[in-house]
Structure 1
Amino acid sequence: MKRLAINALRAGRPDAAAVDAFLAGREVPIVEGSRCTFLYRGEADAVHLAQRVLGLPDLIPLRRLHGTDLWYLVLELPAGSRVNYQLEIRRGDHVESINDPLNEKLSYSPVGTSSVCFAHGYVTPEWTAPDPDARPGELVELTVPSRALRSDRRVTVYLPARFRRTASYPLLVVHDGGDFLQYAAARTVLDNLIHRLDVAETVVAFTHPGERLGEYANSAAHSRYLTAELVPHLESTLPLAGQRSGRCLLGASFGAVASLAAAHRAPTAYGSLVLMSGSFVHTDIGTDHGEDPVFDPVVRFVNRYRERPRRVADRLWVGCGVYEPLITANRSIVPTFEATGMAVRFVETRDGHCWENWRDTLRDALSWVLPGPQKWVYE
């Protein structure tokens, strides 16, 4: 086996000049087959890799290269892995978490940025980047009054590039719509997938939540808003198919719970669901689920569904990253879905609970529930 670059450096009794030469022109983390070397350069009392890969400690110490200010850690990561991380630096009593100053690759989310490691074999899907040959769809801002939620709700509607009033389109409703547009490149992805005939020409309603954790945690009011207000409003103003097979709900994390809860309350309304990294926390025995109290209504809902499962759609696409704690809950609920007779596609990725994971799975999910032109009608 070829010697790792960091071990070759160690063997030469390096000084500051040797470290300079070692880092010059190198991409960090250093990926050599299945092994990834994380680095930090600077004076510190301790340096840790902070990450959320299931099965690894949240904080993993880096070692200091003797006689230098270079710190290193070698991790083995399976091919195709994508890992978000930060570095925790301790100097005396002061501890700070920072993005990796040697790594330009960043992951974005509503709570900030983190560094990202692309292990051997991971490539950002080319269909997530703008394609000059793909005609862009149009985004239209709507305000939908809601008696159920006692407020006016903002909805961003995507109309495909060749949208015609004389046609008939399926409807995809996306929870956390603003975040999918900003952090998962949803508009670009739709343009590309429709252009390539991977996905049917589709009207997409990107919803914007109010009090997200309350609305998405099996809220009856939010479910009424979707099924009794939003969908009828869109079907009365846009040329939509207006039938079960042409309606799909999509959500990630708590948004997946909201999608399942709405379909559970209206089991004849939706033909398909896309459930990404669903927060399907449950308890088999007792009441302690080890999570924040905000999960309490979710746990009650999932417990009841597991006890009395019902068919809530025709097709379910379920996906989850193997590096996130929710992988256990998602693996557990798939047989429950299948037992109802629903067609279920379950996809595991070597990624975590993040927007890039959900972005990277959009083609697989949407091409399965809303496949190419005129193929989306299942009834």
Structure 2
Amino acid sequence: MTLPTPYPMPPRHKGKLAINTLRSQGRPTAADIDRFIARRQVPIVEGPKCTFLYRGEADAVAVRHRIVNQPQHVPMKKIEPVDGLPLWFVTIELPAHSRVEYQIEVRTGAAYETFNDPLNPHVAHSPVGSSSVLQAAGYETPEWVLPQADARPGEMIDFRMHSRALRRMTHNRIYLPARFRRSSEYPLLIVHDGDDYVTYAAMQTVLDNLIHDLDMASTIVVFSNPGDRLREYPNYSPHAGHLVRELVPAIEEQLPVLRRADARCLMGASFGAVASLSTAYRNPGDFGNLLLQSGSFVFTDIGSEHGGGPAFDPVVKFMNRYRERPRKVADRMFISCGVYEPLITHNRSMVPVFESTGAQVRYVESRDGHSWENWRDRLREGLSWVFPGPQKLVYE
């Protein structure tokens, strides 16, 4: 196991916080508040201190975030100006490199409204909506998630096939790397929730950049998509059968992929990680690599109550059985998880279990939550470890 890189606290901010300087000057005017906000990026990051702001009439205002084991509803205090709208604020302390998604909650009378921070332009998107993003001290969006002018783009091809196992038409997209040649042979990566990885984790751009920079081997990638993911992903035999007996053979028939386990990888996040793990478990020796992000590896040591709702019942049954009798499901496993998400304990607990089977495990933690941008930010480390390119191999 590779231990996670420690994240030090940022240097203490010297001097008075900006919000306290404003408060110490007496009741501000509307113009004072206008200038205060205009001169700063909101939330205001001063060392480990992060100050959230909201301006408007309300009976109560709060920040709602998703940091596990912390109060996720944080009330804001009000500054009443001489004229104009009041300013609400709250300051929280975060370690360096933290990235937190949040929203503002406003109560007026008995009515509540929750929305993205109107003062913060940073927004993260997902299939269930969007959230504002706090980028704490030290966090930077990786440059390799942004389009690079000199990186030749790969080609994306729609690939549909009827699945007898799933009894439905499947919708996939196949990524062919730049400089693809049928005379060459390529590793094969199958990505669960494929369209979401492309849309919310910029994965096509990431692949273009990593392959161009020689961090990752030129790879054929199948972006697979579920029908009912809550049914098909948690240890569902027809899903595993579709991947192994239908999808992989179809790809091997049409494209020049290496027909070896060590050149195949299954990948997914959350329930997609469970689908990857359970498919490899059901088909030992077919996949030499797994890339699992924030896996929903929920289990119970005593009893059957897990708190995840009915959707997690088949997950818990599978994980409990696996923990009782673990066996190697892949030779190499890359696992990542955010320390701010509820699944961190389960992921940490599974690492020694996987290692006990003889698998080579690389485990990475981040100061982030259960989010697509967290999974995006870990792609370089995961993909370049699973299928390293020439540049990566030189330094390793």
TM-score, normalised on structure 2? 0.93
Q: Which residue of structure 1 lines up, in the alignment, with residue 78 of structure 2?
A: 64
Q: 1:147 to 1:374 in 2, by over 3 A?
A: farther
Q: Which residue of structure 2 lines up, in the alignment, with residue 274 of structure 1?
A: 291
Q: Which residue of structure 2 lines up, in the alignment, with residue 84 of structure 1?
A: 101
Tell me by how many angstroms 1:154 deviates.
Answer: 1.0
| 5+ long unaligned stretches in structure 2 | 1-13
Deviates further, 336-345 or 18-27: 18-27
Q: Which residue of structure 1 lines up, in the alignment, with residue 21 of structure 2?
A: 8
**2:341 counterpart SS class:** coil
> Does 1:20 find its partner at 2:73?
no
**2:290 counterpart SS class:** strand
Find the partner of 1:47 among 61, 67, 71.
Answer: 61
Find the partner of 1:115 among 110, 132, 155.
Answer: 132
> Is the contact made by 2:298 and 2:306 (CA closer than 8 Å) also made in structure 1?
yes
Q: Which residue of structure 1 lines up, in the alignment, with residue 329 of structure 2?
A: 312
> Is the contact made by 2:338 and 2:368 (CA closer than 8 Å) also made in structure 1?
yes
Q: Which residue of structure 2 lines up, in the alignment, with residue 254 of structure 1?
A: 271
Question: Residues 94-123 of structure 1: CA distance to partner in whole angstroms, max 9, x if unpaired?
Answer: 100010000011000011111000000000
Aligned equivalents of 1:212 and 1:359: distance in 2?
A: 20
| 5+ long unaligned stretches in structure 1 | none
> Is the contact made by 1:200 and 1:374 (CA closer than 8 Å) also made in structure 2?
no
Aligned equivalents of 1:150 and 1:16: distance in 2?
A: 63
Tell me by how many angstroms 1:317 deviates.
Answer: 0.2
Q: 1:374 to 1:237 in 2, by over 3 A?
A: farther
> Is the contact made by 1:194 and 1:200 (CA closer than 8 Å) also made in structure 2?
yes
Q: Amino acid of the residue matched to residue 250 of structure 1?
A: M
Q: Amino acid of the residue matched to residue 123 of structure 1?
A: E
> Is the contact made by 1:281 and 1:289 (CA closer than 8 Å) also made in structure 2?
yes
Q: Which residue of structure 2 lines up, in the alignment, with residue 239 of structure 1?
A: 256
**2:214 counterpart SS class:** coil
Q: Which residue of structure 1 lines up, in the alignment, with residue 10 of structure 2?
A: none
Aligned counterparts, 1:213-228, within 5 A: 213-228=230-245
Question: Residues 29-82 of structure 1: CA distance to partner in whole angstroms, max 9, x if unpaired?
Answer: 000001100000000000111111012112110111244600001010110000
Aligned equivalents of 1:225 and 1:43: distance in 2?
A: 55
> Does 1:182 find its partner at 2:195?
no
**2:333 counterpart SS class:** strand
Q: Which residue of structure 1 lines up, in the alignment, with residue 7 of structure 2?
A: none
Count of residues paired in the alignment: 376
**1:214 counterpart SS class:** helix
Q: Which residue of structure 1 lines up, in the alignment, with residue 111 of structure 2?
A: 94
Question: Residues 110-141 of structure 1: CA distance to partner in whole angstroms, max 9, x if unpaired?
Answer: 11111000000000000000001000000000
Find the partner of 1:301 among 318, 342, 364.
Answer: 318
Tell me by how many angstroms 1:375 deviates.
Answer: 8.6
Aligned equivalents of 1:167 and 1:125: distance in 2?
A: 31
Question: Residues 281-303 of structure 1: CA distance to partner in whole angstroms, max 9, x if unpaired?
Answer: 00000010011110000000000
Find the partner of 2:362 among 335, 345, 367.
Answer: 345
Deviates further, 100-109 or 50-59: 50-59
Aligned equivalents of 1:314 and 1:364: distance in 2?
A: 18
> Is the contact made by 2:214 and 2:392 (CA closer than 8 Å) also made in structure 1?
no
Tell me by how many angstroms 1:25 deviates.
Answer: 2.9
> Is the contact made by 2:384 and 2:392 (CA closer than 8 Å) also made in structure 1?
no
Runs of 4 or more off by more than 2 Å in structure 1? 373-376
TM-score, normalised on structure 1? 0.98
> Is the contact made by 1:27 and 1:103 (CA closer than 8 Å) also made in structure 2?
yes
Identity %: 59
Aligned equivalents of 2:391 and 2:132: distance in 1?
A: 41
> Is the contact made by 1:200 and 1:375 (CA closer than 8 Å) also made in structure 2?
no
